[in-house]
Amino acid sequence: MRTTTTDQHPMAVGARKAAGRRLVGCAALVAAAALTLSACGGSSDGNKPVVSVSASATKAAVTLDQPKDKPDLVLTDTHGKRYDLVKETAGKPTLLYFGYTHCPDVCPTTMADIASAKHRLPKADQDKLQVVFVTTDPERDTPKRLGEWLAPQDPAFTGLTGDFATIQAAARSLGVFIDKPVKQKDGSYSVQHGAEVFAFSPKDDKSHFLYTSGVSADQFAADLPKLIKGETP
């Protein structure tokens, strides 16, 4: 599922969050129907989708017909240090999401729901879970900006930034299509990016299922204990 958003003043984000949550929920219903056949991974050059999935109307998780490897991605974290995704999360239950900090609705809602679900886990399981947010807008999302944006959600969340082409290639390896942000005449930016959350098992470091936008905190909370154990919801 691809979402297009345009920047808004930070004060507008809170005011529109509830409305955004309702809109995302509607979009998720459309996405679930589309995912019954295949992932919505159309690119600008007309390539066929690279991820095949099986959706269910009774659960939030969408099972991948073919498990996906973690992207071989080395970027910069919120402390300005080199972060190797594969090495740092090896053998750990991991949620991976591509988004950007100026997003007015989908990104903050998704991260807030994941944070809420994580905080319901026992402390030991919270420490095991890795949540990685990779920016699709690296020009504006500096390490400092990412850190300030993620901290209120959960200071343990990992934020990554770096070269856009590297990030785009990693996203596409999962079937997530992102476009370079486009600056509008009024100074705002239009950003297109996939809204999937990929869950990687601690048993084999592969993603066997994902979540589309619109999944609630309660739904994440119901599934996270299974992810921690390396099980598929």
Under the banding of pLDDT at 50, 70 and 90, the label for residue 19 is: very low
Binding site for Cu cation: which residues?
Answer: 103, 107, 193
- Domain presence at residue 127: yes
Question: CA–CA separation, 170 vs 166, rounded Å?
Answer: 6
What distance in Å separates the CA atoms of residue 2 and residue 50, rounded to the nearest whole number? Answer: 14
- Torsion angle in degrees (nearest 10) through CA of 68, 70, 71, 74: 180
High-pLDDT (> 70) share of the chain, %: 75
Q: Residue 213: is its pLDDT beyond 70?
A: yes
CA distance 107 to 168: 17
Rounded CA separation 223/93 (Å): 12
Known binding positions: 103, 107, 193
pLDDT classification of 25: cutoffs 50, 70, 90 = very low
pLDDT (tens digit, 9 = 90+) per residue, 173-182?
999 989 998 8
**Residue 56 domain boundaries:** 2-228
User: Residue 220 falls within a domain, yes or no?
Assistant: yes
- State mean pLDDT over 196-201: 98
What pLDDT does residue 2 have?
Answer: 54
pLDDT band, very low/low/confident/very high, at 55 (cuts 50, 70, 90): very low
Mean pLDDT of 185-212: 93
Q: Is residue 159 part of a domain?
A: yes
Specify the CATH number for the domain of residue 110.
3.40.30.10
Give Cβ neighbours of residue 73 (< 8 Å, ≥ 6 apart).
84, 85, 86, 134, 160, 166, 167, 170
pTM of the shown model: 0.79
Q: Which of 211, 193, 178, 208 is nearest to 32 (CA)?
A: 211
Q: Could you tell me the pLDDT band of residue 21, with boundaries at 50, 70 and 90?
A: very low
Structural domain contains residue 233: no
Total number of domains constituting the chain? 1
Is the distance from CB of 28 to CB of 61 less than 8 angstroms?
no
Higher pLDDT, 8 or 119: 119
CB-based contact 182:6 (threshold 8 Å): no
Q: What's the mean pLDDT in 69-92? A: 98
Task: Please give the biggest Cα pair distance in the chain.
Answer: 49
Distances (CA, A) of 38 to 27, 42, 48, 104: 16, 10, 10, 28
- Look at residues 47, 61, 43 and name the one whose alpha carbon lies nearest to residue 201: 61
Find, among 121, 129, 105, 152, the residue nearest to 217 by Cα: 121
Query: Is 133 within 8 Å of 41 (Cβ atoms)?
Result: no
For residue 52, the model assigns a pLDDT of 44
- Residue 16, helix vs strand vs coil: helix
Burial class from Cβ neighbours inside 10 Å (0-12, 13-18, 19+) for residue 183 reads: exposed
- Mean pLDDT of the residues in the chain: 82
Beta-carbon contacts of residue 122 (< 8 Å; ≥ 6 apart): none
